[in-house]
Amino acid sequence: MKWKALTASVCLATALYSTAWAQDLPQAVSTEREMVVTANPLATAAGAKVLNNGGTAADAMIAVQTVLGLVEPQSSGLGGGAFIVYYDAETGTTTTIDAREKAPAAATEDRFLDDGGNSIGFSNAWQSGLSVGVPGVPRMMELMHERYGRLPMDRLIAPAIRLARGGFELTERTSSQVAGLLARNVAGEPRLFFRDPTAFAYFTTPDGEAKPAGTLMRNRPYAETLASLARQGADAFYTGPIAADIVAAVTGDLNIPGDMALADLAGYQVIERAPVCVDYRGHEVCGMGPPSSGGIAVGQMLGILQSFDLSGFERVSVEAAHLFAQAGRLAFADRNFYVADSDFVPVPVAGLIDDDYLASRAALIGPTDMGTASPGDPPGAFGAAGPDPTIKSSGTSHVSIVDRDGNALSMTTTVESSFGNGVMVHGFLLNNELTDFSFSPTDSAGNPVANRVEAGKRPRSSMSPSIVFDDGGKVEIVTGSPGGSRIIGYTAQSIMNMIDFGLDPQEAINSPHYGNRNSNTELETAIPGVTGPGDAADLQAGLEALGHPVSVRSLTSGLSIIQVTGDGFIGGADQRRDGAVGGR
């Protein structure tokens, strides 16, 4: 509406990228009965086999998660956490599962401050026992299996056990990330990254270099851990020898010891929460609510964009990028101020996605960049008064699954930063999830920050697993991505690309990224054979003419998207990582 008047007052550049797709770009995959999309071909194959054998989406997820924790350990695993949006076809209901890690009972709000009240620094916190939250993945797998599973647990984890014992080839992505972390160690000082001797021996050669891609990897301790879970359930992880060794690793960390106790592990519970759903041009978009900011922020961005007609724009154009960036600024301003674990802080969820509120936020968008946006004043109660604008990195993966019965699962799973906190226990890596908390409990004015550390609290996340329903209430799109706080933009853009621009899942993934987290507007460096053709220079020039501070960089999403059609399924997997589509 308003944008048509604005475009008359400013000259905008034409579309940067041609609507014709290059023939050498990845193409969408179609199946008839079921589909699974993950960030690794071995994980996809394991999930597809479970679906083919009559397993449910929940069954396939367990096979996928256990393989991912082995072959993509930098991103997720038993020592991490996850969020799930799940549609149960039999009951026609959508729910969300919160398996986010929790702070130990001994945690205090000054956790990441030194004796002088100053931050100990991100790297120092990341590579320490202080950063480890109580893991949620094993308890999540058990709950999903008990509630929605069909096949026996030992069959679901058998692929991961076979790979762990028989061996698998190290990927180039994992090898390069090991090398990148090793390069961050300071010569002449004790090794910080991969300081744990077990992890160091597993990921490096005898001369201390990263094992090269193609190395045959075996992880027998991981196989034994999975076998214990199959025999004894999740209690094998949260009590007994495995739990004791987790606590010993955390409290005996070679950099800074943590304070996790056996009672923290024994008391961990997964929480079922209501989804956060918004209307977007007649489609219902459902995501994860607090402690994730993903469902709210994706919903806000789409709700703001709903005030503008995008149909006349190219998907990668100055017009579309400008509007998307402004929506991102406004959503992140609210995210940073209002969102935290709603079990500890009142979060005005309904107010933040209220139609009238979002329309008022959309009205702030003009023909030029608005600069740093301020949080709005949504309806509803709020429990703190200081923002947490910290941008965190993430070691994360996303899984999308639809089974032959119509059950749909969107799961984002993580150990936080690459390789978690770098410590390996019983074949899996511990997370560094607690660095997602604000390092300072108050802002510069002394106001309490909603996302401050508190005992038993779950840190704010950007993970945005999403399921989109058509105007008849049927599952239409299952989507999500890894990527730290950029997850929000990646996921929102994937939905916009499909609904507004009519792209199939792979085209939506191939389309170059743009976005804004209430700072610079980021444009993606082109990747030959992976992203759409073109050079970001023209788009950059057009946005800078509108006042945008622009940065051009690599934007490594890992989108996994399924589109449900009348004839079956269309899937797309992100080749910025090692994504693969499977099913029949």
Please indicate, yes or no, whether residues 333 and 222 belong to a single structural domain of this protein. Answer: no
Please indicate, yes or no, whether residues 488 and 513 belong to a single structural domain of this protein. Answer: yes
**Residue found by looking up tokens 């804004």 in the block:** 516
Q: Please, are residues 429 and 199 in contact by the beta-carbon 8 Å criterion?
A: yes
Query: Is residue 560 in a domain?
Result: yes
Question: Which amino acid does the sequence have at 98?
Answer: D
Q: Which residue of the set 56, 174, 396, 414 is catalytic? A: 396
Q: Write a three-state SS string for 45-93.
A: HHHHHHHHCCCCHHHHHHHHHHHHHHHCCCCCCCCCEEEEEEEECCCCE
Please indicate, yes or no, whether residues 432 and 320 belong to a single structural domain of this protein. Answer: no
Q: Using the CB atoms, write b or e for 477-495: b if 16+ within 10 Å.
A: bbbbbbbbbbbbbbbbbbb
Between CA 453 and CA 463 the distance in angstroms is 19
Between CA 342 and CA 511 the distance in angstroms is 35
The confidence score (pLDDT) of residue 393 equals 57
Instruction: Find the mean pLDDT for residues 301-313.
Output: 96
Asked if pLDDT for residue 534 goes beyond 80, the answer is no
Nearest to 280 by CA among 494, 86, 15, 516: 494
Give the chain's end-to-end CA distance (angstroms, integer): 43
Residue 448 is given by DSSP the state: B
Question: Band of the pLDDT at 256, cuts 50, 70, 90?
Answer: very high
Beta strands in 471-549 (DSSP E): 475-479, 514-516, 521-524
Q: What are phi and psi of 479, to 5 degrees?
A: -150, 165
Query: Is residue 388 in a domain?
Result: no
CATH classification of the domain holding 477: 1.10.246.130
Question: Which amino acid does the sequence have at 458?
Answer: R
Instruction: Find the mean pLDDT for residues 567-578.
Output: 97
The confidence score (pLDDT) of residue 4 equals 39
Give strand pairing partners of 416.
Answer: 395
Query: Is residue 260 in a domain?
Result: yes
CA distances from 237 to 84, 229, 328, 395, 430 (A): 21, 7, 39, 22, 13
Query: Is residue 53 in a domain?
Result: yes
Asked if pLDDT for residue 2 goes beyond 50, the answer is no
Please indicate, yes or no, whether residues 224 and 358 belong to a single structural domain of this protein. Answer: no
Count of structural domains, the chain:
2
Query: Is residue 342 in a domain?
Result: yes
Between CA 154 and CA 453 the distance in angstroms is 38
Between CA 500 and CA 539 the distance in angstroms is 20
Say which residues have a Cβ less than 8 Å from residue 347's Cβ, sequence separation at least 6: 290, 338, 339, 340, 382, 383, 450
Q: Please, are residues 47 and 63 in contact by the beta-carbon 8 Å criterion?
A: yes
Catalytic residue at 521? Answer: no
Between CA 201 and CA 178 the distance in angstroms is 12
Please indicate, yes or no, whether residues 50 and 174 belong to a single structural domain of this protein. Answer: yes
Query: Is residue 449 in a domain?
Result: no
Please indicate, yes or no, whether residues 176 and 285 belong to a single structural domain of this protein. Answer: no
Please indicate, yes or no, whether residues 341 and 414 belong to a single structural domain of this protein. Answer: no
Q: Is the peptide bond before 291 cis (omega within 30 degrees of 0)?
A: yes
Q: Please, are residues 237 and 266 in contact by the beta-carbon 8 Å criterion?
A: no
The confidence score (pLDDT) of residue 9 equals 27
Show the tokens assigned to 336. Answer: 């940073």
Show the tokens assigned to 505. Answer: 């899942």
**For residue range 166-210, what is the model confidence (pLDDT) as tens digits?**
999 999 999 999 999 999 999 999 999 999 999 999 999 999 999
Q: Please, are residues 258 and 251 in contact by the beta-carbon 8 Å criterion?
A: yes
Between CA 168 and CA 72 the distance in angstroms is 11
Please indicate, yes or no, whether residues 359 and 419 belong to a single structural domain of this protein. Answer: no
Helices 41-52 and 57-71 meet at what angle, rounded to 10? 160
Between CA 573 and CA 579 the distance in angstroms is 5
Please indicate, yes or no, whether residues 62 and 174 belong to a single structural domain of this protein. Answer: yes
CB atoms closer than 10 angstroms to residue 559 = 32
Between CA 154 and CA 540 the distance in angstroms is 52
Query: Is residue 30 in a domain?
Result: no
Please indicate, yes or no, whether residues 264 and 279 belong to a single structural domain of this protein. Answer: no
The confidence score (pLDDT) of residue 535 equals 63
Instruction: Find the mean pLDDT for residues 425-447.
Output: 96
Show the tokens assigned to 38. Answer: 């993950």
The confidence score (pLDDT) of residue 388 equals 77
Q: Please, are residues 431 and 79 in contact by the beta-carbon 8 Å criterion?
A: yes
Between CA 387 and CA 377 the distance in angstroms is 14
Between CA 531 and CA 512 the distance in angstroms is 6
**For residue range 102-120, what is the model confidence (pLDDT) as tens digits?**
999 999 999 999 999 999 9
The confidence score (pLDDT) of residue 283 equals 98
Percent of the chain past pLDDT 90, that is, above it, reads 91
Between CA 415 and CA 46 the distance in angstroms is 21
Category of 581 on φ-ψ map: left (φ > 0), alpha (ψ -120 to 50) or beta: beta
Higher pLDDT, 386 or 86: 86
Nearest to 430 by CA among 73, 64, 61: 73
Category of 352 on φ-ψ map: left (φ > 0), alpha (ψ -120 to 50) or beta: alpha
Question: Band of the pLDDT at 268, cuts 50, 70, 90?
Answer: very high
Please indicate, yes or no, whether residues 73 and 199 belong to a single structural domain of this protein. Answer: yes
**Residue found by looking up tokens 């999830």 in the block:** 433
**pTM summary value:** 0.95
CA distances from 104 to 135, 233, 260, 461 (A): 11, 22, 5, 18
Report which secondary-structure segment, H or E, holds 508. Answer: helix 505-510
**For residue range 8-34, what is the model confidence (pLDDT) as tens digits?**
222 333 333 334 445 589 999 999 999
Q: Please, are residues 559 and 498 in contact by the beta-carbon 8 Å criterion?
A: no
CA distances from 44 to 47, 65, 168, 236, 346 (A): 5, 10, 14, 26, 39
Please indicate, yes or no, whether residues 206 and 115 belong to a single structural domain of this protein. Answer: yes
Between CA 160 and CA 63 the distance in angstroms is 7
Show the tokens assigned to 368. Answer: 């030029």
Nearest to 47 by CA among 164, 159, 170: 159
Between CA 351 and CA 380 the distance in angstroms is 6
Give strand pairing partners of 428.
Answer: 425
Instruction: Find the mean pLDDT for residues 130-148.
Output: 98
Question: Band of the pLDDT at 381, cuts 50, 70, 90?
Answer: confident
Residue 403 is given by DSSP the state: -
The confidence score (pLDDT) of residue 380 equals 87
* Segments forming the whole domain that contains residue 517: 273-370+466-582
Question: Band of the pLDDT at 395, cuts 50, 70, 90?
Answer: confident
Query: Is residue 1 in a domain?
Result: no
The confidence score (pLDDT) of residue 10 equals 29
Give strand pairing partners of 292.
Answer: 461
Question: Which amino acid does the sequence have at 108?
Answer: T
What ranges in 390-484 are assigned the alpha helix state H? Answer: none
Q: Measured at the alpha carbon of residue 135, what is the angle toward residues 409 and 556, in degrees to the nearest 5?
A: 60
Asked if pLDDT for residue 262 goes beyond 60, the answer is yes
Nearest to 471 by CA among 286, 279, 275, 274: 279
